Amino acid sequence: MRVGELRAWEWKDHKVILVGEHLQVEVEVFTEKIINVYVTPGPQKFFSQAVVLNPRVTEWRAEEGEEYIIVSTPCLRIKLGKSPFSLEFEDGRGFRLKCREVVWEENLRSCSWEIREGEHFYGLGEKTGFLDKRGKRYIMRNQDCYDAYTEGADAMYASIPFYIGVGPGGSYGIYLDNTFPTFFDMGKTREHLVTWGAEKGPLNFFFIYGPSVKEVVQGYTEITGRMELPPVWSLGYQQSRYSYSSQERVLEVAREFRKRGIPCDALYLDIDYMDGFRVFTFDRKRFPDPSGMIRQLGEMGFKAVAIVDPGVKVDGNYRVFREGLAKGYFITDENGLVYTGEVWPGRTCFPDFARAEVRSWWAELHREFLEMGLAGIWNDMNEPTVLDTADRTLPPGLVHNREGRWVAHEEFRNIYALNMALATREGWLKYRPQERCFILTRSGFAGIQRYAAMWTGDNRSYWEHLKMSIPMLLNMGLSGVAFCGADIGGFAEDANEELLIRWTQLGVFYPFCRNHTEVGTVDQEPWAFGARCEEICRRFIRLRYTLLPYIYNLFYEASQNGAPVFRPLVFEYESDENCHGIFDEFLLGSSILAAPVYEPGRSVRAVYLPEGKWMDWWSGEVLEGGKYYLAEAPWERMPLFVRAGAILPLMSRPVSYTEERPWEVVFHLFPGGSEGEYVFYEDDGCSLDYRKGRYNLYRLRYSLSGEGLILEWEKAYGGFPEGQKEFEVVLKNDGEVREVRVNGRPWGRRLKLPGTGDASA
């Protein structure tokens, strides 16, 4: 079915409702840049958990002309053809996007869009392949992909049905709000068309106008939400293994880090800490005193994070199972028969996280863990995954009860993990209400960034996987998930010295920075391959800690506007054609560019530097952008550059963990161009007090002329009197400082700027 001829239309509130021959189309203006389109053959309601945006008061109007009904906002025109129905977006300044067809059949709901000349596509969440998705086709259906984890893997752990088109006239985004499995054909089947859709569920999508990539990501995260500020410890280096087998072993690893002077903030407890894989238990033989262990770890500056899987072991002597069964909390089939699947504990039941009372029950099960001081909860197998079906997903015929309505597992599957995270978070809010929550998740859906950090699951200790992690994480960042990372060193199979060196160099720039490996593989801690590897890893992990104030500020930015921390070049330089396809370099924020080595035996690599000037991090050499260089990259070095014009807040002294002592931040200024600015955010790094205004914002500006450099320092907001007392500025060139002004007043040439120490500032 197509929409056909328009028979009638009306306009009310934020909406234009068009009644076609066969289908009804509702066009709703959410903001002047965000338009929701809902196509339906009749009244039916689906609801989404991904969308948190409500339509906002916007100046807009709808008019009827001869051929079109035109809906316009201050920056967009939506042309709706009457005979037959057609749909087009334009901005009157060269942006134009045409919908070629809208289809609704019993088993297919889809939309096709014309691909613009020279268009590139990004986003789509956690996907294999290169950065630009043009010519690819992907399925969105959450599933374990241990065996399938290769360059060709399609459906993965998480689904984010959102993409960005970058082309002439500007960039836009489409978010398809459908929790059933969906597909995205980015010009693969029909070269000039993007087609996406689903077999079931609503044809409900959001068009997001840019015109820049940045604004598209901002719009998308306005729709699906942004991350909250993470606890700063979760930005430190973290070490994991499947599994550190005992309390003693965990403490030994912790001591090893301190002894060797390798900074580290957290250790992970993988499934073997449990008693026979029963969730919310500890094996008391191997972990006789978890609280004591957590306390001892704490004394050394470590946090502990424990894995919690959704599967509950079938065992009449196990409280969690008995309760869940008695209360009817587990997923059943259509006849109400409780489903069991095979996972680590043997026969296992799955909580129906669709139901609020089940989520609250799950939340309360966290009580002991959270009260004993675990610093974070790691959700795994939450696609959900079982081991006894061909594709490791739950079989057909199962149902969930979503706010009183029975829905097929196929409709809920992609948001199972989102709801598990919601339940975990509820527990957090209940038992640790003053602290920032840390949840790590494997599976997810659009909006997961509101609750959890995400890692990319079971990669392997392959060079190919080191390489693939770059575009995968870059696209996840563009898809709203700023807090993401891949297992450093690779999960499955054995790492080796060179691989761990190169992966650690790259990994210290992942927003989520954790080394993890599978049971049965060779050890992969930074010291596992001898002194040389250890020394290089130590140096790079320390580099991450030096960069932490900058990184933390990038997370602040992500919480404010959704911008990724780990950025593709196209995010900052979208008009530069050279940047459209680059997947093997990335930006950390807007000021640092890194070019990791991702093949063995390499000691140089080509690096493209975008327009402007760049300073080699290691040598200080200034390079002209807009061209390629061959950079030296011996094992000790990963090519790294700072954008001229950048101001970086860096840690002044090495620390062995984030909370070792109050941060001493020094601003490093790399002058370039005639001016630059940096806004610095500061708070306590762990509590929720920032929501009540307990933070500081400073603005540091410089202008550069023939006569020298003028610095201006201004306290833009001061709500956190415990902040840093004074800030030092280090100039990274030999220019002369002409004048420093603090809040507009002369400050001589002093390069110590007042923080909270000086009331006059």
Question: Which listed residue (126, 270, 458, 534) is catalytic?
Answer: 458
**145 and 381 in contact (C-beta within 8 Å)?**
no
Q: Output 20 or 384, the one with its CB closest to ligand MIG.
A: 384
Q: Output 413 or 580, the one with its CB closest to ligand MIG.
A: 413
Task: List C-alpha distances in Å: 15 to 27, 326, 602.
Answer: 6, 46, 58
Question: Which listed residue (383, 525, 574, 585) is catalytic?
Answer: 383
DSSP 715-731: EEEE--TTS-SEEEEEE
Q: How far is Cα 213 from Cα 203, in angstroms, rounded to an integer?
A: 24
Q: Output 35 or 486, the one with its CB closest to ligand MIG.
A: 486
Which two structure tokens, joined as six digits, stand for 261? 């002077």
Q: Output 242 or 321, the one with its CB closest to ligand MIG.
A: 242
- What is the smallest separation between the CB atom of 323 and ligand MIG, expressed in angstroms? 24
**436 and 687 in contact (C-beta within 8 Å)?**
yes
- What is the smallest separation between the CB atom of 493 and ligand MIG, expressed in angstroms? 13
- What is the smallest separation between the CB atom of 240 and ligand MIG, expressed in angstroms? 7
Bridge partners, 207 (sequence order): 35, 174
The site for ligand MIG (CB under 6 A) is made up of 242, 270-271, 307, 380-381, 442, 457-458, 491, 516
- What is the smallest separation between the CB atom of 420 and ligand MIG, expressed in angstroms? 15
**288 and 249 in contact (C-beta within 8 Å)?**
no
Crossing angle, helix 463-478 and helix 497-507, to 10 degrees? 10
Asked if 380 is an active-site residue, the reply is: yes
Which two structure tokens, joined as six digits, stand for 361? 């029950």
Which two structure tokens, joined as six digits, stand for 109? 């709901």
Q: Phi first, then psi: what are they for 525, rounded to 5°? A: -65, 160
- What is the smallest separation between the CB atom of 426 and ligand MIG, expressed in angstroms? 23
- What is the smallest separation between the CB atom of 307 and ligand MIG, expressed in angstroms? 6
SS (H, E, C) 514-578: EECCCCCCCCCCCCCCCHHHHHHHHHHHHHHHHHHHHHHHHHHHHHHHCCCCEECHHHHCCCCHH
Q: Output 424 or 546, the one with its CB closest to ligand MIG.
A: 424
Q: In what order do the strands lie in the sheet with 193-198?
A: 61-64, 68-73, 76-82, 85-90, 96-105, 108-114, 193-198, 182-186, 137-140
- What is the smallest separation between the CB atom of 376 and ligand MIG, expressed in angstroms? 14
- What is the smallest separation between the CB atom of 303 and ligand MIG, expressed in angstroms? 18
Q: Phi first, then psi: what are they for 505, rounded to 5°? A: -60, -45
Q: Output 457 or 625, the one with its CB closest to ligand MIG.
A: 457
Q: Output 400 or 460, the one with its CB closest to ligand MIG.
A: 460
Name the residue number minimizing CB distance to ligand MIG: 242
Measured in whole angstroms, the distance separating CA 67 from the mean position of its chain's CA atoms is 43
Closest C-alpha among 449, 486, 559, 582 to residue 131? 582
Task: List C-alpha distances in Å: 540 to 240, 462, 505, 654.
Answer: 18, 20, 6, 12
Q: Output 72 or 515, the one with its CB closest to ligand MIG.
A: 515
Q: Phi first, then psi: what are they for 60, rounded to 5°? A: -155, 160
**90 and 40 in contact (C-beta within 8 Å)?**
no
Taken as a whole, the chain contains a residue count of: 761
- What is the smallest separation between the CB atom of 344 and ligand MIG, expressed in angstroms? 7
Q: How far is Cα 415 from Cα 410, in angstroms, rounded to an integer?
A: 10
Q: What residues contact residue 759 under an 8 Å CB cut-off, 6+ apart?
A: none
Q: How far is Cα 9 from Cα 81, in angstroms, rounded to an integer?
A: 12
Question: Which listed residue (380, 411, 574, 585) is catalytic?
Answer: 380
Residue with tokens 């002047």: 32
**Cα atoms found within 13 Å of the Cα of residue 190, Cβ hemisphere only:** 13
Asked if 523 is an active-site residue, the reply is: no
SS (H, E, C) 96-158: EEEEEEEEEECCEEEEEEECCCCCEEEECCCCCCCCCCCCCEEEECCCCCCCCCCCCCCCCCE
Q: Output 380 or 574, the one with its CB closest to ligand MIG.
A: 380
Q: Residue 746: is it exposed, middle or buried by C-beta count within 10 angstroms (0-12/13-18/19+)? A: exposed
Which two structure tokens, joined as six digits, stand for 84? 């037959």
Closest C-alpha among 457, 139, 440, 172 to residue 306? 440
Q: How far is Cα 587 from Cα 569, in angstroms, rounded to an integer?
A: 6
- What is the smallest separation between the CB atom of 444 and ligand MIG, expressed in angstroms? 13
Q: Output 491 or 503, the one with its CB closest to ligand MIG.
A: 491
Which two structure tokens, joined as six digits, stand for 294? 């957590």
Residue with tokens 């530069």: 576
- What is the smallest separation between the CB atom of 457 and ligand MIG, expressed in angstroms? 5
Q: Output 458 or 585, the one with its CB closest to ligand MIG.
A: 458
SS (H, E, C) 246-313: CHHHHHHHHHHHHHHCCCCCEEEECHHHCECCECCCCCCCCCCCHHHHHHHHHHCCCEEEEEECCCEE
Crossing angle, helix 497-507 and helix 531-561, to 10 degrees? 30
Q: Output 67 or 388, the one with its CB closest to ligand MIG.
A: 388
Q: How far is Cα 293 from Cα 124, in angstroms, rounded to an integer?
A: 41
Asked if 458 is an active-site residue, the reply is: yes
Q: What residues contact residue 758 under an 8 Å CB cut-off, 6+ apart?
A: 725, 726
- What is the smallest separation between the CB atom of 147 and ligand MIG, expressed in angstroms? 11
Q: Output 180 or 268, the one with its CB closest to ligand MIG.
A: 268
- What is the smallest separation between the CB atom of 455 and ligand MIG, expressed in angstroms? 8
Give the residue numbers marked as catalytic.
380, 383, 458
